[in-house]
Amino acid sequence: MVDVMALVKQQERVGAGIYRLILDAPAICSVALPGQFVHIRCAGGLDPLLRRPLSIHRVDRERGELWLLYRVVGKGTSLLAQKKPGDRLAIMGPLGRGFTLPAPGADVV
């Protein structure tokens, strides 16, 4: 687990209240596994105090990109939806117990 300041590369509204956030976070991407998540500080101050847990949607290890999908449901995610490319966010992760995917073509049962 690492705690980094990640650069917002892209923020896109993909549905009603649903956003895709792409962050430059190579330190997290290099160790993230399927099933893990990150904690994001949505504001620079103490309001909201707690970080928001968001599942990792996609990792591009070559580019160091961390992709997150989230729905705006309260103050924290509302503040997160206002972030623009070039902004920085404090993120901690990867967190949780990840898992490995079977090799392509392998029997899973």
Could you state, in order of their start, the residue ranges of all structural domains in the chain? Answer: 1-42+70-96
User: Across residues 39-45, what is the average pLDDT?
Assistant: 88
Specify the pLDDT at position 49: 86
- One-letter amino acid identity for 94? P
Extract the tokens encoding 97. 């117990």
CB 10 within 8 A of CB 19: no
CATH of the structural domain 1-42+70-96, one choice from 3.10.129.10, 3.30.70.1730, 2.40.50.100, 2.40.30.10: 2.40.30.10
Q: What is the pTM (predicted TM-score) of this model?
A: 0.89
Q: What angle do CA 35, 66, 88 make, to 5 degrees?
A: 130
Specify the pLDDT at position 46: 76
